[in-house]
Structure 1
Amino acid sequence: MTRAGVQERGRAPVLYSAERPKAFIDAVVAIAMTLLILPLMESVSDAADAEGTALDWLGDHRWQLTSFVLSFAIIAMFWLNHQRLFSGVQRVSTTLLWISMAWLLSIVWLPVATALSGRMPDDDALTKAIYIGSMILTALVATIQRVYVLRHRREFGEISTDTLRGGLSADISMCILFSVALVVSITIPAVNYNALFVMLLMGPMQALVRRLLPPLED
């Protein structure tokens, strides 16, 4: 083998089948979503020990219930976006695997942030920063992941530029909207976690970001 061939081989990333990483990622996300319910399960036991009624429990834990549903929906949104990206990924590199591990770390952390937000006072700015900041972190890592796949898409499989463009606009939109929600929730305490309803603007924001993104080469 020529020296040029050795150098070329040295520059080429080692690629692995994406099947096992996909299954692993799905399993970890499923576990994270399941963990969201644990604080509520514990609160049910506490209410039963205190001989409270179901109505008392619903009233005392209404924010915990809300944060559970909200976090479940947000993790589901992150997972769906991830699925759309990896649907065309057939091979992965070591770098992509590590970026995926960072993304999973942020997902697994979210149940902890959710439990924290459900137990701490509503006006605790640090709790808001941890809870909503965790979502910003996940969106940022997802953006990094998609940009990396975009730069190496021919190595990883048959991934259409239209899919990557749409996904990238979604990732950037989530970063923007979660950041807006964090700023609003902290600067206007009365709004509290209701600032997360800004995510209802996801559709229009994604359409705007997509128009502003430069065209991607096939």
Structure 2
Amino acid sequence: MTGPVGGPGDSPIAREDAAISRVASSERVKAFTDAVVAIAMTLLILPLLDSVGEAAQQDLTTLEWLQDNFGSIIAFLISFVIIANFWTTHHRVFARVERVSEPLLWLTIAWMLTIVWLPVATAMTGQMKSDALQYVLYIGSMALTSILLMCTRLYLRAHPQLHDIPREALTSGIIADVLISALFVVAMLIAILVPGVGYNAMFLLLLSVPIHRLVGRWRPVSVR
């Protein structure tokens, strides 16, 4: 028999719980995310593999190949480390996620999209002449990755029934995401507006850890 209208089975929380159970298990989402990130990190090396074949056809020496592809090698290493860092952060968050709702699933899919795009942007930096749009597509995509992770943490903080992450840990992570996203945006603007700086502006990201520590020391004082 159908329960009375407005009964426990018709409450917003009950409907949300039912919707959550219909989407996907957290373990499947974690496994899928790990696979997508692993593929993206592997794709980063493909332009260098192609260049080895071209060098062999041109009868270049190993040193000549290294000299010709120095920029691509640096771009590969930087993007590999950045994706690894993004994945490590995302993995730490989702390690304590127990249930996945539809909005959380789509936030994760959007985050994966920015990761999958990065090998394309990386190939541009190593093989094409730098310009303003390239800075937007490369550095801007990293800023978007950080922003989406921040949105994920904000969503999780608003839906504690999905996880067992301490609220303080989520708040600290959100602050870190804001700082990193802001530094990516500032680095992108400097690369565009200051001639000769280019991708060196990304060294600003080294400031994220000390700034986050300063904010962490300041926050307890501000609460009192």
Q: Tell whether the structures are fold-level matches, with TM greater than 0.5.
A: yes
Q: Map 1:46-195; keep pairs closer than 5 Å.
A: 46-122=54-130, 124-153=131-160, 155-195=161-201
Query: What SS class does the counterpart of residue 100 from structure 2 fall into?
Result: strand
Contact residue 156 and residue 163 of structure 2 kept, 8 A: no
Residue identity opposite 1:202 in structure 2 = S
Query: Between the two proteins, what is the percent identity of the paired residues?
Result: 46
Q: Which residue of 1 aligns with 2:33?
A: 25
Residue identity opposite 2:135 in structure 1 = K
- Structure with higher Rg: it is 2
Distance in 1 (CA, whole Å) between partners of 2:220 and 2:154 is: 13
Contact residue 165 and residue 210 of structure 1 kept, 8 A: no
Matched, 1:7 2:13: no
User: What is the number of equivalent residue pairs in this alignment?
Assistant: 213
Contact residue 44 and residue 57 of structure 1 kept, 8 A: yes
Provide Cα deviations, 1:85-136, integer angstroms capped at 9, x if missing partner.
11111111111001100000111001111111111113x1111111111111
Query: What SS class does the counterpart of residue 4 from structure 1 fall into?
Result: coil
Residues 110 and 50 (structure 1), Cα distance of their counterparts in 2 relative to 1, 3 Å cut: same
Structure 1: tracts of 5 or more residues without a match: none
Give how far 1:84 is off: 1.4
Structure 1 residue runs of 4+, over 6 Å off? 212-215
Contact residue 81 and residue 167 of structure 1 kept, 8 A: no
Residue identity opposite 1:193 in structure 2 = Y
Query: What SS class does the counterpart of residue 6 from structure 2 fall into?
Result: helix
Provide Cα deviations, 1:157-207, integer angstroms capped at 9, x if missing partner.
211123212221221111011011101111112111111111111202222
Distance in 2 (CA, whole Å) between partners of 1:112 and 1:12 is: 39
Give how far 1:3 is off: 1.1
Contact residue 107 and residue 152 of structure 2 kept, 8 A: yes
Contact residue 36 and residue 115 of structure 1 kept, 8 A: yes
Distance in 1 (CA, whole Å) between partners of 2:18 and 2:115 is: 27
Structure 2: tracts of 5 or more residues without a match: none
Taking structure 2 as the reference length, the TM-score comes to 0.89
Query: What SS class does the counterpart of residue 15 from structure 1 fall into?
Result: helix
Contact residue 33 and residue 75 of structure 1 kept, 8 A: yes
Taking structure 1 as the reference length, the TM-score comes to 0.91
Distance in 1 (CA, whole Å) between partners of 2:77 and 2:4 is: 59
Contact residue 36 and residue 72 of structure 1 kept, 8 A: yes
